[in-house]
Amino acid sequence: MSVKDLGKLAKSASIKMAILGSEEKNQALRAVAEALLAKKKEILEANAKDMEKAEENGVRGSLLDRLLLTEERIEGIAEGVRQTAALNDPVGEVLWMRTHPNGMTYGQKRVPIGVLGMIYEARPNVTVDAFALSFKSGNAVILRGGKEAFETNQVFVKIIKEALSSAGSIPEAVQMLEDPSRETARELMQLNEYLDVLIPRGGAGLIKSVIENASVPVIETGVGNCHTYVDESADLEKAKPIVINAKVQRPGVCNALETLLVHEAVADEFLPAMLQELKENGVEIHGDERVCSFDDSVIPATEWDWENEYLDLKLAIRVVPSVEAAIEHIAKYSTKHSEAILTESYSASQKFLNEVDAAAVYVNASTRFTDGSEFGFGAEIGISTQKLHARGPMGVEALTTTKYIIYGNGQIRG
């Protein structure tokens, strides 16, 4: 089918989705979760083909990890669908009602956005997460995954459609572009007649391309040049595992730590042991002159290191003279995703929380928690780094809009 044909199907499905009851949606989602578990073997076989092609094409370790599915990860994906089914349905919620002096009552009600578009890279779990959240919030969705996960994505969508059909629901609510080329992606970006919003999820290049080429509204997500600042009052023993977790647990994701800032008053005490522990975990360190003085293996940092996310086992480290200097560095280089301060000072924590402009700002915790499932959303369709209309992990409420509802009794405006 052409991109336009998929748009027509999705638009038609969105009209039905908008009036679908909560229990009907929940039953369909539970059916999808069961189908994913029942067909793990088929999913793993498709994923193995994608992994083999990716390795042949020289895809590096952290991106391979994003692509890889295991039985445990499939079970986690299915559990995310179940959790989404268990969430409160935002559609139809009346946010407020007021009475006009003439006796009319008026207010705001949550409604689905309509047709969502998703363009994303080598993360096949996004296929299921995007479907589940779109379906729960009463939307249809058109998916365009990356070529690296082509086989896995196709199988996921096939299983979802079959489960929806078996549950007597609306299989047309999820559509996937079968051609993952740049040309079809560009067509999707221009699908104004059918698409209400487009959400890119991936690296900086993908997001930049969508923002520059789309004529439909775009919600910017994903790029995470995330910082952690170790303050002079930090509990250094508490700080070490937080830094390791933020950098090492899954270095190829957008909420992983990319730059560590350390107050000069604790640099001598903190950095030698911290550098050793990072190296033991396979992290390549890029540092300023002070950091290089602690270890000959540290690579001198350039401007590129401060500006970019590695999505790899690499970390940039800078020593700063104050919390103000840390905030200034973050303001200059942050992508407004997730930023953290490690401190025992209440005033420093509040200064950081108040002055750092990001979707998620942490005190004494790993940036790895910026995630829809961790925030109780079941899953996320992305992490918005902009300010309109959603910010941070986007769950079902972020995939609704509002309309005004007005009850009158013959009132006319004089």
Kindly list the domain boundaries of the chain, sorted by start residue: 3-219+394-407, 226-369
Contact criterion met (CB below 8 Å) for 171 and 165 = yes
CATH 3.40.605.10 fits 3-219+394-407, yes or no: yes
158: Cα separation from own chain's centroid: 23
Least trusted range by pLDDT, from 43-52, 152-161, 367-376: 367-376
CA 144/CA 168 separation, integer angstroms: 25
Beta strands in 13-89 (DSSP E): none
Least trusted range by pLDDT, from 23-37, 206-220, 330-344: 206-220
- Beta bridge partners, 176, equal 143
Average pLDDT rounded to a whole number, residues 334-360: 97
CATH top-level class of 226-369: alpha beta
Average pLDDT rounded to a whole number, residues 132-150: 96
Q: At what angle do helices 22-38 and 71-86 cross, to 10 degrees?
A: 170
CB count in 10 Å sphere of residue 235:
14
Average pLDDT rounded to a whole number, residues 187-195: 96
Q: Which residue has the higher pLDDT, 61 or 392?
A: 392
Average pLDDT rounded to a whole number, residues 183-212: 92
